[in-house]
Amino acid sequence: MAVPTELKRGLRLPVIASPMFIVSNPDLVIAQCTSGVIGSFPSLNARPQARLGEWLDRIQAALADHDARHPDRPSAPFAVNLIVHRSNDRLAADLEACVAHKVPLVITSLGAQVEVNQAIHSYGGLVFHDVINQRFAHKAIEKGADGLILVAAGAGGHAGVQSPFALVQETRAWFDGPIALSGAIATGRSILAARAMGADFAYVGSAFIATEEANAPEAYKQMIVEGSAEDILYSNLFTGVHGNYLRPSIAAAGFDPDNLPTSDPSKMDFASSAGDAKAWRDIWGAGQGIGGVDDIVPAAELVARLAREYEAARADLLR
Ligand SMILES: Cc1cc2nc3c(=O)[nH]c(=O)nc-3n(C[C@H](O)[C@H](O)[C@H](O)COP(=O)(O)O)c2cc1C
C-alpha cells in the first residue's frame, strides 16, 4: 500500500481529518495539522468566494510558522475539499485558488472530472476522490484521481450503505494506491482496524465536531458527546442525497424522525432547504461512531487521545 511521501511528512497518526460543511474552519485545520493529522475543509465554507484565498494564506502562514518553531515535529499537510457537482457554481474559482496556493491534497466529491485532476497535478498536488461503491471508485481512478476515500455505512454527512470490510476488500482487489476509509471512526483502536483492513488512512469527521475549534453551536457539540449510534438517522430528505444526521436535531427542527418522507434525488442541491430547516445548519450531520466521543476538547487533545489509543491497541495486539 502506497502512501505518497508528500503526505507522510509530519504525520503522527494515519488520519485524515475529514472536511465538514460549515464545521471545518482555518482554526480547526491548523490545530489538526500541527497536531500531526492531515486537516481539511470544504472550499465552500469560505464565504464569499474571495475569502478562500485569505483562508489558504492564513493556514499556510500558520503551518510555516509552526514548522519554523518546531522543526522536530513539523505540521502535517492540509487538504481542500471541492464539490465537483453541477450545483456548485464556484468550482472554477475555487480550483484556481487551490492551484495558485499549490494545495498539497485536494479531496473531490460528488463527481469526478479529468480537468480538475489535471489542474491539481500541474503543480504536483494530489487528488483523492470520495466514493461509496466500486462503480464510482473505478470511474474516479479512470479519470485520474490518485487515491480513494471509501465512504462506508455509518459515516457522517453523505454516506454509503456498504460495510467497510466489503468496500476495502473489493477496492484492494484492483487498486494498490492510497485508500482512506471513512465512517464511524472515532477511536485509536478503530484507526488501527482501518489499517488492518487494508486502508492507509482513517478518515475521521464527527469526532472533530466536538472540539473547541469546530464551527458548530454548543448544543450540536453536546449532542455529539451525548449521542450514540442509535441517535443517527439515514435519510435523503434534507439534500436529496442519503446522509446520516442526529435524530434529536431532526426532531428539534419540527420533523418526526420516525416518519420522514423521502425526497426526489433529481432535485439534489448540496445546501438545499427542507421546509424551514436549512440542511446542515439546523439538521446536524453526524456518523455512527459518536459513542466514542465523551467530551468537548481542543482538537490537539482529541488527536493526542487517538494517538494514545492507537499505540495501546497496537501493543494489545502484539501481546
Ligand atoms: C456535518 C458534516 C458535514 C460534512 N460535510 C462534508 C463536505 O462538505 N464534503 C465532504 O466531502 N464530506 C463531508 N462530510 C463527510 C465527511 O467528510 C466524512 O466522510 C465523514 O464525516 C466520516 O464519517 P464520521 O463522521 O463518522 O467520522 C461531512 C460530514 C459531516 C458529519
pLDDT digits (tens, 9 = 90+) for 16-31: 999 999 999 999 999 9
∠ CA 286-44-120, rounded to 5°? 110
3-state secondary structure of 252: helix
The minimum-distance atom of ligand 1 relative to the CA of 40 is 17
Q: Which residue has the higher pLDDT, 112 or 66?
A: 66
Contact 221, 198 (CB under 8 A): no
Per-residue pLDDT reduced to its tens digit, 158-174: 899 999 999 999 999 99
3-state secondary structure of 127: strand
- In angstroms, rounded to a whole number, what is the distance separating the alpha carbons of residues 117 and 122? 9
Distance 68 CA to ligand 1 centre (A): 32
Phi-psi region of 144 (alpha: psi -120 to 50; beta: other; left: phi over 0): left
- Pairs from 269-277 (Cβ < 8 Å, separation ≥ 24): 269/87, 269/239, 269/240, 270/21, 270/44, 270/83, 270/85, 270/87, 270/88, 270/110, 270/239, 271/21, 271/44, 271/239, 272/238, 272/239, 272/240, 274/237, 274/238, 277/238, 277/253
- In angstroms, rounded to a whole number, what is the distance separating the alpha carbons of residues 254 and 123? 48
Q: Is 42 in the pocket of ligand 1 (CB under 6 A)?
A: yes
The per-residue DSSP string of 261-298 comes to PP--GGG--TT-EETTEEBTTTB-B--GGGGG--S-B-
Residues 89-97 have a mean pLDDT of 97
Q: Is 243 in the pocket of ligand 1 (CB under 6 A)?
A: no
- Give nearest CA residue, ligand 1 atom 11: 109
- In angstroms, rounded to a whole number, what is the distance separating the alpha carbons of residues 135 and 174? 12
Confidence of residue 267 (pLDDT cuts 50, 70, 90): low
Helix axes 51-69, 91-100, angle to 10 degrees: 30
Helix axes 134-142, 164-172, angle to 10 degrees: 40
Residue with cell 476515500: 149
Q: Which residue has the higher pLDDT, 103 or 266?
A: 103
Q: Is 108 in the pocket of ligand 1 (CB under 6 A)?
A: no
Mean pLDDT of all residues belonging to the chain: 94
Distance 215 CA to ligand 1 centre (A): 14
Residues 272-298 have a mean pLDDT of 83
Q: Is 204 in the pocket of ligand 1 (CB under 6 A)?
A: yes
Q: Is 292 in the pocket of ligand 1 (CB under 6 A)?
A: no
For the entire predicted model, the pTM comes to: 0.96
- In angstroms, rounded to a whole number, what is the distance separating the alpha carbons of residues 280 and 121? 32
The minimum-distance atom of ligand 1 relative to the CA of 42 is 8
Indicate whether 185 pLDDT > 50: yes
- In angstroms, rounded to a whole number, what is the distance separating the alpha carbons of residues 104 and 121? 10
The pLDDT, as a whole number, for residue 262 is: 76
Q: Is 180 in the pocket of ligand 1 (CB under 6 A)?
A: no
Backbone dihedral angles phi then psi of residue 252, each to the nearest 5 degrees: -65, -25
Q: Is 184 in the pocket of ligand 1 (CB under 6 A)?
A: yes
Q: Is 20 in the pocket of ligand 1 (CB under 6 A)?
A: yes
Q: How many CB atoms lie within 10 A of CB 178?
A: 22
Residues 205-216: b if buried by 16+ CB within 10 A, e if exposed: bbbbbbbebbbb
Q: Is 81 in the pocket of ligand 1 (CB under 6 A)?
A: yes
- Give nearest CA residue, ligand 1 atom 3: 20
Sign of CA dihedral 22, 13, 70, 305: positive
Domains assigned to the chain: 5-215+288-318 (3.20.20.70)
Q: Is 151 in the pocket of ligand 1 (CB under 6 A)?
A: yes
- Pairs from 89-93 (Cβ < 8 Å, separation ≥ 24): 90/43, 90/44, 90/49, 91/116, 93/49, 93/52
- In angstroms, rounded to a whole number, what is the distance separating the alpha carbons of residues 3 and 131? 19
Total residues found in the chain within this entry = 319
Q: Is 40 in the pocket of ligand 1 (CB under 6 A)?
A: no
Question: Percent of the chain beyond pLDDT 90?
Answer: 85
Least confident of 213-217, 269-273, 301-305: 269-273
Residues 175-182 have a mean pLDDT of 98
**Ligand 1 binding pocket mutation candidate from 20, 22, 306 (most atoms within 8 A of CB):** 20
Q: Is 130 in the pocket of ligand 1 (CB under 6 A)?
A: yes
Distance 309 CA to ligand 1 centre (A): 23
Residue with cell 444526521: 245
The pLDDT, as a whole number, for residue 265 is: 57
Residues 83-104 have a mean pLDDT of 95
The pLDDT, as a whole number, for residue 273 is: 40
The minimum-distance atom of ligand 1 relative to the CA of 159 is 19
